[in-house]
Structure 1
């Protein structure tokens, strides 16, 4: 069985640095795993990175850059959505997600696509979350451009420490 991969939308600098610093600080104080901030467009794709790239490149050439906005923080029961910032982008993000679902029908598709950037994975106390929200909240809403999709070695079964961005595919013909 091939290793599984995900498709991520990653904030550019300086927004990425700000979020990475906040996540790293939070994870150091709570013992939770640190990770690269990202929006998962589609996860658990059972194909090689090269096969994903070959299939996805013609599609990404038709995509236009978009803006994503982080709005508010929320908590949930799911490990990968235990503490996150909601992402808004209008219908275009849902359209990209659906296109990827059609392209990779064997991927693990969530019951409902909920665009977000996780701020922590796993259980954290309400006090920890409140402290983290206080450090991130001044930056919200945070809007950033996205002009590429990353192919990442990650899945629900892959240890977070082993996640790695392997390739990035720019949007648009000119890239």
Structure 2
């Protein structure tokens, strides 16, 4: 039997998710990189079923509400899944949610938490990437993202990106 892997994602509100998805699609077309749903990962790659995770997700979402986080900058790295991303400061609601997720799921740690929404995977270094990053830094400067739901997602580094899918979602009240 194949092991199921799931992650926990915070999702931007629908309007911002559509806008960020447009950026992902645009960059994917320019850099021949995969298309994926923009998200902020709270916990990644847990070898547990969705059914096991649902009551734990409810605990993490308990007493939480929708919140805004400002885009700090657009950055790059040599890591495939973080080659091009919008970075967020660890604002209080993010810190609280990450702390609770670490306690409930017993995975990860708060100290190394670097909240971000990836915009492209696997983009090679070069002048076009630098230009695109500069354009997006200007476009996203001063923007806040509203996170309004937390999800269990069948995703992992062992799961093909095109198979990633939200399996369960809990709305965060306004």
Deviations 1:99-155 (A, max 9, x none): 1112112x4668711001111111323323234224423232221222220111101
8 Å CA contact 1:22, 1:132 repeated in 2: no
User: What TM-score does the superposition give when structure 1 sets the normalisation length?
Assistant: 0.87
**Residues 95 and 110 in structure 2, CA contact (< 8 A), matched pair in contact too:** no
CA RMSD of aligned residues (A): 2.1
1:93 corresponding residue in structure 2 = 94
Structure 2 match to 1:63: 64
Structure 2 unaligned runs (5+)?
none
Task: Map 1:1-175; keep pairs closer than 5 Å.
Answer: 2-105=3-106, 107=107, 112-136=112-136, 137-172=138-173
CA spacing shift, 1:153–1:121, aligned 2, 3 Å:
same
SS at match of 2:150: strand
Give 4+ residue runs of structure 1 displaced > 6 Å after superposition: none
Separation in 2, partners of 1:22, 1:11: 14
Normalised to the residue count of structure 2, the TM-score between the two structures is 0.87
Structure 1 residue runs of 5 or longer lacking an equivalent are none
Q: CA deviation at 1:54?
A: 1.5
**Mean alpha-carbon deviation: is it higher for 160-169 or for 64-73?**
64-73
How many residue pairs get matched? 172
Q: Distance in 1 between matches of 2:140 and 2:123?
A: 23
